[in-house]
Every structure is written in structure tokens, then in C-alpha cells.
Amino acid sequence: MTENRLSVQGLNIDYPTARVVNNLSFTLGNERLALVGESGSGKSMTARALMGLVRKPGIVSAEKLEVLGRNLLTLNQRGWRSLRGNDIAMVLQDPRYALNPVQTIQAQLEEALTLHQRLNRRIRLEKVQDAIAAVGLDLPVLSRYPGELSGGMGQRVMIAIALLNNPQVLIADEPTSALDSRLRHQILELLVEQCEQRKMAMLLISHDLPLVAEHCHRVLVMYRGSRVDEMPARELPQATHPYTRTLWTCRPDATTYGQMLPTLDRTQNLTEAASEHR
Ligand SMILES: Nc1ncnc2c1ncn2[C@@H]1O[C@H](COP(=O)(O)OP(=O)(O)O)[C@@H](O)[C@H]1O
Ligand SMILES: [Mg+2]
């Protein structure tokens, strides 16, 4: 049987003004699961809860919230430090805001390593160089500053940092949305290749449904904080749930360029639609 690396059951995330994630349940084994849904549906909040990064006054509660069998609801600061960036790591949308502009790439990779491992200089350097090579960059990049990198290179550096400590779970929150279409494919292919090589699981948050259909095993569809649909990712083109269908047809591509895109019917009750659909 597969062993779950993430177990989420009845996850709620509340702010004084609103519930932003509502009764969400899913598991992640050694596989790639995509989280899709329009902007504001609670995807990033879910990722943040799994990384212990939901800030006050946000409140995280759940029946179960586990990473590699460790209960996140009772984890202390020290537990989080050993888990985050080590067993579970995250890649964000835009490297420009995630990297330190006044430190070289090498310094930032070394720092990410020393946070979790005591290593001598030679081994540290070796690991840093391996990580840079693994993401398809050349070693001279190590002496550069983030501002000197293109968007695609910056994203590769972010992935190198996330991979440094060989996490078992990688969360990628729209890792390609700041990139053009050719780079999007390259970065996704890199992530998938690293998942396979390292037997790493991935939770991919993405707007790009065709990319998800191609590269993930399963997809979970969120709407206003709740799960509305779930299916094998390759079945996305044949989705029958009305919301999932709309998401699929909403994507702009060469054939719809310059035309009006379909919009979601806000008056439709999705829970009703979902139960009709079942
Ligand atoms: N600090 C906050 N206080 C209150 N609501 C927030 C806060 N941060 C985000 N939200 C709300 O939480 C909802 C989900 O946000 P998010 O998870 O970022 O959506 P997604 O990643 O799916 O686009 C949004 O409606 C957003 O407005
Ligand atoms: Mg988001």
C-alpha cells in the first residue's frame, strides 16, 4: 500500500472576515497532485498551512494535518524548523521576491544547507554544485546576484534551493506563472524529472490546466475554499463537472486569442451542480 506523505482531513482556515479554506480533505502519496481553481479559491492558503506559514489572525484547524506522519497541529517552532525546507520544501511563483538581492547565489544555497546540516566546506560546496547542475544551470551562476539572472534562471535557482536537502514533498505554488510558455514547459519538465529521480512527491498549484493534465497524476479542483472535484489529471479534457469544464475551457490559447473567454456563472450553486453531476 502507498504511504501518505501528506494527510489532510477537514482542513479549515479562518480569518475574522471569512473562512478561506473549508473542510478540505486530500492525501498525497508518492505522486504528483495538482491543486487548481480560480484566483482566491484558497490554493496558496492550503500550501501555507502545510508549511506552517499561515499568519495571525488566520486560524488553521483540522481533523488531521500531517506531513510524513508528523502532526502539524501540535508541532512546535523547533519541529517546524526541522521539517520545513528539509522534509517538505516550497517553490514560489516569483524568484525576484524570494531571493536575497544582495547575496550571491552561492551564499544563498550554502545558507539553505547549513540551516539543516552540519557539513564541512568541501562537502557543502559539492552539494551546492550538484544542486545547480541538477537544475540545468552552469557553475558560473553561483557567483552572480539574483538581479543578474533571467526569470527562468531565477526559477531554476529557487528549485535548486528547494531540492538541496532532498525533501520528500515539494510544494510548487504557481512556479511557472511568471514565465513564457516555452519556459513553463521546461521548468515543469525539470520538476517532474527531479520528482522521478528523487522519488519526491509534488503538490503543484497551477493555473495551467493543460500542463497539469500532462504532468500530474491527479487533480483536485477548488472553488471558494472547498473541494468541488477530483480526478486523474489526464481525464481533465473530458471533465464532466461544470466548474472543472469551465476552468478547462477558460484557458486562453492560440485558437481563442482575441475572442471573449467564457466566464463562470456566479449565480450557479456549485454544490447543487456537483451533486447533480454525481
Ligand atoms: N491575510 C488575509 N486576511 C484575510 N483574507 C485573506 C488573507 N490572505 C488571503 N486571504 C483570502 O483568502 C482567500 C484565498 O487566498 P489564496 O489561498 O491566496 O487563493 P489562491 O492561491 O487560490 O489564489 C482569498 O479570498 C484571499 O482574499
Ligand atoms: Mg495563490
Question: Is residue 187 situated within a structural domain?
Answer: yes
Output the domain CATH number for residue 35: 3.40.50.300
Question: Is residue 147 situated within a structural domain?
Answer: yes
Question: Cell numbers of 198, please?
Answer: 528523487
CA 84 to chain centroid, in Å, comes to 14
CA 34–ligand 2 middle distance (angstroms): 13
**Which residue from 121, 147, 142, 117 is spatially nearest to 132, judged by alpha carbons?**
142
Give the integer Cα–Cα distance in Å for 232 and 103: 42
Indicate which atom in ligand 1 lies nearest the CA of residue 48.
Answer: 17
Question: Is residue 71 situated within a structural domain?
Answer: no
CA 128–ligand 1 middle distance (angstroms): 35
**Structural domain of residue 89, as residue ranges?**
29-42+76-277
CA 90–ligand 2 middle distance (angstroms): 13
CA 183–ligand 2 middle distance (angstroms): 20
Q: Does the CB atom of residue 206 touch ligand 1 within 6 A?
A: no
Q: Does the CB atom of residue 93 touch ligand 1 within 6 A?
A: no
- Look over the chain and give the mean of its residue pLDDT values, rounded to a whole number: 90
pLDDT band at 92 (very low <50, low <70, confident <90, very high): confident
- For residue 253, is pLDDT > 70? no
Question: Is residue 162 situated within a structural domain?
Answer: yes
Give the integer Cα–Cα distance in Å for 118 and 1: 35
Question: Is residue 52 situated within a structural domain?
Answer: no
Question: Is residue 80 situated within a structural domain?
Answer: yes
Please tell me the residue having the least CA distance from ligand 1 atom 16: 42
CA 12–ligand 1 middle distance (angstroms): 13
CA 20–ligand 1 middle distance (angstroms): 6
Task: Identify the pLDDT of residue 278.
Answer: 47
Task: Identify the pLDDT of residue 8.
Answer: 98
Question: Is residue 113 situated within a structural domain?
Answer: yes
Ligand nearest to the CA of 43: 1
pTM above 0.85, yes or no: yes
Question: Is residue 65 situated within a structural domain?
Answer: no
Ligand nearest to the CA of 22: 1
- For residue 258, is pLDDT > 80? no
Adjacent-strand bridge partners of 221: 36, 229
Task: Identify the pLDDT of residue 180.
Answer: 87
Question: Span 78-100, mean pLDDT?
Answer: 89
Please tell me the residue having the least CA distance from ligand 1 atom 27: 40
Give a three-class secondary structure readout of 239-276: CCCHHHHHHHHHCCCCCCCCCCCCCCCCCCCHHHHHHH
- For residue 84, is pLDDT > 90? yes
Residue holding cell 510524513?
68
* Count of beta carbons in the 10 Å neighbourhood of residue 261: 10
Question: Span 169-184, mean pLDDT?
Answer: 91
Task: Identify the pLDDT of residue 264.
Answer: 56
Give the integer Cα–Cα distance in Å for 142 and 84: 24
Q: How many domains does the chain have?
A: 1
Which DSSP letter does residue 92 get? -
Please tell me the residue having the least CA distance from ligand 1 atom 17: 42
Mutate which of 14, 15, 45 for ligand 1 pocket (most atoms within 8 A of beta carbon): 45
Q: Does the CB atom of residue 15 touch ligand 1 within 6 A?
A: yes
